[in-house]
A and B are shown apart, each in its own frame.
Chain A
Amino acid sequence: MTPKPFKSINHKLLNYVSWSAFVLLLLAALLSFFIQYERSKINTLSMLNQLLDTVEDTVEVAAYSKNEQIARDVLKGLLKNDIVHKVIISSKEGFNLDQSKNNKSNTAQLLSRPIYSLFDTEEVIGHIAIQPSALYSLTEAKYDTVSNIISSFFLIGFTALVILWVMQKYISRPLTTVSNTLNKIKLGEKFRISPLKNNTNDELGRLRTDINSLLTVLDDEFNNEHKLREDIEQMEQKLRHMYNSSSAGLFLLDLEGYLLTSNATFSSILHLPVDNKDLTEQQRFIFSSFIKDSEKFDLLLNKAIDSGELESEDFVLAEQKNAPPVWVHCLISKITDRSGQIHLEGVLFDVTSRVEAEMATQHEAEHDPLTGLLRRQAAQAFFEKAAGFNSCFFLMMDLDGFKQANDTYGHVAGDKVLQITADRLSLCIRSTDVVCRLGGDEFIIILFNMNAQQKIDSIAEKVVSSIQEPMVIDENTTINVGISVGISNSIGKEGKSFENMIKEADEAMYEVKRNGKNGYCIKNKNNEMILKLAKDDFQST
């Protein structure tokens, strides 16, 4: 429905009052006409009766004496009246007169009365009848009505004017003033409705006072609200600033792990192109898809949901193209908001540099700085971690002729020999195996999961052969060293310690040293030492 156009109450008032006055006038005229018409009809009747009364005696005489002349005079006299249209006078055994004014037909009722004998009031000797003029009553009524309309017009019109004037002065004008003022007032403005001089002590005056006080209250409320909103905005800005500029990535997940909202730092840590504030349904994504080991992250989520405590762990992010791995420390805790919905609140720190430092430290602790090989403790840790493997071989090694080379060519050359040895040893083993420098020129190789004796032999032969190759230190220096290898194994000896393995291998190695070096020694099935030297072409003696 379209709103109706604005129409002033003054205008409406004028309209309604004029129309009702007009209608009232019309009704009054109609009513007056009908009343006057009826009254006129009664009047006419009574006038006719009076006329008959007047001529009755004469007519009686005329009828009794059968004197037509008198009757004719009476008839003429009667017809002279405006009110009379037609007269009939009849006498028994005498005359019968019937005359009307003109030839117009007339349906008005005849007023008839009998004529009695002069001397016998019971004997009817004739009749007289009068028909009234048809338009007489109507004309009378019309005149009366017109005069009534004129008087009603002045009366009703004057009353309407007075009512209009009073209503305008005391009601509609002040109302218009109030309405116009209210219409112009905007919230926060100090406008008030000016006093209504005609309505100081009535309802409108009270309305004005009440509206003004309401406006004052509203103003105060509005100002308070405004102030409050500004405070809140400021606080929100501060919090938002804190939230956005925080060095930690802050985010909110739902129970299924979908990201609900996050701050700028979060996006920058994850290298997200967009600002992920308030994501829509379609844009949502599972946060764990950003974690390399997403199962581990899901475990953390479940842990946080189950425990309700703050849970934390380090993760590597899923690899980005042309970028080094990123480490993050992630804290997750369960929160319940006001509406009772459960969310997961998370904090994300980029800890790549810390983890890198830690890893560097650990690498340093585990590796020999000169050769880059594992240190003894690290090797032991590897062995103990792999203790479940059923078979494991230790190759205990010591360089032959290293001391001499060291003394002859100096420490630098010695160190170079050790480095070359380490490189060559590393080439002899599988990727799952471990090479370790015990110290000085002593090394061990740990071969995991090794069952075939033949394979051991080939590795040992390869080790001895590769070390025997001349080592080029610089343009002028080439050094030749040999190596003695003692082998121990853990087959059928579950829970054998690292120390024991080394000790056994050490014993086997010394067997080589005693018997001419440059070879290896391994126990056979009967626990007998089998010595295989390079000079014998690794044939057992």
Chain B
Amino acid sequence: MLKNIIILLLISVFSSQLHAEIIVIGNLENNIPTMTKKKVQEFFMGRTRFFSNGVRAVPIDASDLRKGFYQKLTHRPIEQINAYWARLTFSGHSTPPSKMPDQQAVIIAVKKGKGAISYINRDKMNESQVKPLYIFE
């Protein structure tokens, strides 16, 4: 009984983290409007490489938020996303998004690169530093 209660508690903690709002962010100088979830998918899954204004997109993964982000973005477990990239990487034509250790590093990377696109938790959002492009409900 006790064991069950602990498991339930753990699940609720994780789920609260998962359900925390994630915002897709871009460089302030990159003058693009907000985008759809599908568009976000295309950038992160390697289908689209350029923004509508012609700027080359550089997707960046945040390691601490990656699992939750892809879950929200594709409704698929992170293992499948990894496998997907492994397949593409093997062909030699595509590379997966570069990984940053945490959200802080992400924000720095986005501020630096014009075509950078990444994601952070809402609580880390500072509109003076990065531009929100899409907000997960």
Contacts and interface: CB of A to CB of B under 8 A. Distances in A.
Interface in A38-73: 58, 61, 64-70, 73
Contacts of A119: 38, 41, 45, 73-76
Interface string B46-87: 110000000000000000000000000111100000001001
Nearest to A60: B84
Interface string A106-125: 00000000000011100000
A70 B88 contact: yes
Contacts of B84: 61, 118
Nearest to B37: A119
A222 B83 CA distance: 109
B33 interface: no
A101 B27 CA distance: 50
B88 A65 contact: yes
Contacts of A67: 88, 91, 93-94
Contacts of A120: 38
B92 A69 contact: yes
Nearest to A66: B47
A65 B38 contact: no
B47 A65 contact: yes
B38 A61 contact: no
Interface size class of A (residues with CB under 8 A): 10 to 19
A64 B87 contact: no
Contacts of A70: 87-88, 91
A68 B93 CA distance: 9
Interface in B85-101: 87-88, 91-94
A70 B93 CA distance: 9
Contacts of A73: 91
A91 B5 CA distance: 50
Nearest to B84: A61
A65 B87 CA distance: 11
Contacts of B76: 119
Nearest to B41: A119
Contacts of A118: 45, 74, 84
A308 B39 CA distance: 145
Interface in B4-51: 38, 41, 45-47
A119 to B, nearest CB: 5
Contacts of B41: 119
A69 B93 contact: yes
A396 to B, nearest CB: 188
Interface string B86-127: 011001111000000000000000000000000000000000
A120 B73 CA distance: 11
A120 B93 CA distance: 23
Nearest to A120: B38
A11 B102 CA distance: 100
A120 B40 CA distance: 13
A363 B87 CA distance: 170
A66 B94 CA distance: 10
B47 A61 contact: no
Contacts of A61: 84, 87-88
6 contacts: A67-B94, A70-B87, A70-B88, A70-B91, A119-B73, A120-B38
Chain A to chain B: the 10 pairs with minimum beta-carbon distance, closest first: A69-B91, A65-B46, A70-B91, A119-B74, A119-B41, A65-B88, A67-B91, A69-B93, A67-B93, A61-B87
Given A65-B46, A119-B75, 6 more contacts: A65-B94, A69-B91, A70-B88, A118-B74, A118-B84, A119-B76
Interface of A: 58, 61, 64-70, 73, 118-120
Interface of B: 38, 41, 45-47, 73-76, 84, 87-88, 91-94
